[in-house]
Amino acid sequence: RLPPFDLAELSAIRDVFNHLAESLDTALAERSELTRKLIALQDEERRHLARELHDEFGQSLAAIRALASSARQTAVQDCPSLLGECDGIARTATGMMETLRGALFRLRPPDVEELGLVASLEGLVAGWNGRSRGQTRFSIRFDGAFATLPATISASLYRIVQEALTNAAKHAGATRVSLELAMRADEIALAIDDDGRSNDPVVKSGMGLLGMRERVAALRGQLSFEAAPNGGSALRVVIPLAGLDRQPLERAA
């Protein structure tokens, strides 16, 4: 805002400028509120989809595996030549259940508000290390205390990291992904570096990056994604803490 002036002409300019600044601030606040509501709606849709997948596909796959086991027991006595097919059906059902379990975890991750941001992110990184079987190595480092972080910021940070890891491992083909989350006096800084293909159009313009931008914008933060000097890509997120702790907390998955 501009300060008061003695000259009437400058005072008129000041009034117009301050009015525009207030209008812009109001528009930004309304956009942030709309983005938060859209994100909450997306999270609710994810929870609904996760329940549907678990109840319908999960039970069906378990039934297929049980039937394959029953058919195998019958084949042992009556038709040993069918043992290979029975085992193949069981393996396929087991593989589909593992894939479904991973999808459910991405759709409905652990409750960050109950576990805390640090424990949730450590579990997320450990899960990726287990699923990658050494093809991609994930590491994470924390600097500062995050126990008192508002639930809105914690849930958004978790989703941002989740999307970034998916992009790096599945789309960019990275073999090394490092994360650093730092708590500063007036902001939170997230840095994610990988050695994958930074020029991949899927990584640059995919829905994952768009979702990250939406969540960062809802928190009035800044996001940058660019090629690293030594190859790979670098994601930087800065979220200001001023005023965010006074926002209504939304419980997000």
Query: How many percent of the chain have pLDDT more than 90?
Result: 18
pLDDT of 173 higher than 90: no
- pLDDT of amino acid 247: 43
Give domain status of residue 225, yes or no.
Answer: yes
- Same domain, yes or no: 122 and 96: no
Mean pLDDT of all residues belonging to the chain: 82
Q: Give a three-class secondary structure readout of 125-176.
A: HHHHHHHHCCCCEEEEEEECCCCCCCHHHHHHHHHHHHHHHHHHHHHCCCCE
> What pLDDT band is residue 14 in, cutting at 50, 70 and 90?
confident
Residue ranges of E strands in the chain:
137-143, 176-183, 187-194, 222-227, 233-240
Give domain status of residue 252, yes or no.
Answer: no
How many folded domains does the chain comprise?
A: 2
pLDDT of 189 higher than 90: yes
Give domain status of residue 73, yes or no.
Answer: yes
Task: Tell how far CA 143 is from the center of its chain.
Answer: 20
- Same domain, yes or no: 66 and 121: no
Give domain status of residue 253, yes or no.
Answer: no
**Domain final position from 108, 133, 151:** 108
Give domain status of residue 88, yes or no.
Answer: yes
- Same domain, yes or no: 94 and 115: no
**Domain final position from 63, 79, 108:** 108
- Same domain, yes or no: 103 and 118: no
> Where is pLDDT greater, at 190 or 152?
190
- Same domain, yes or no: 11 and 88: yes
Give domain status of residue 140, yes or no.
Answer: yes
Handedness of CA 197, 199, 202, 203 (dihedral sign): positive
- pLDDT of amino acid 9: 82
Give domain status of residue 251, yes or no.
Answer: no
Predicted confidence (pLDDT) per residue in 30-42, tens digit = 877 777 777 778 7
pLDDT of 251 higher than 70: no
Mean pLDDT in residue range 227-231 = 73
- pLDDT of amino acid 243: 59
- Same domain, yes or no: 135 and 100: no
- Same domain, yes or no: 114 and 92: no
What would the two tokens of residue 234 be? 């670098």
pLDDT of 252 higher than 70: no
- Phi, psi (5° rounding) for residue 174? -75, 150
Predicted confidence (pLDDT) per residue in 150-165, tens digit = 887 888 898 889 888 8
| pTM of the complete model | 0.65
Q: CATH code at 147?
A: 3.30.565.10
Domain of residue 73: give its range: 1-108
Predicted confidence (pLDDT) per residue in 109-124, tens digit = 666 777 888 998 998 8
- pLDDT of amino acid 89: 92
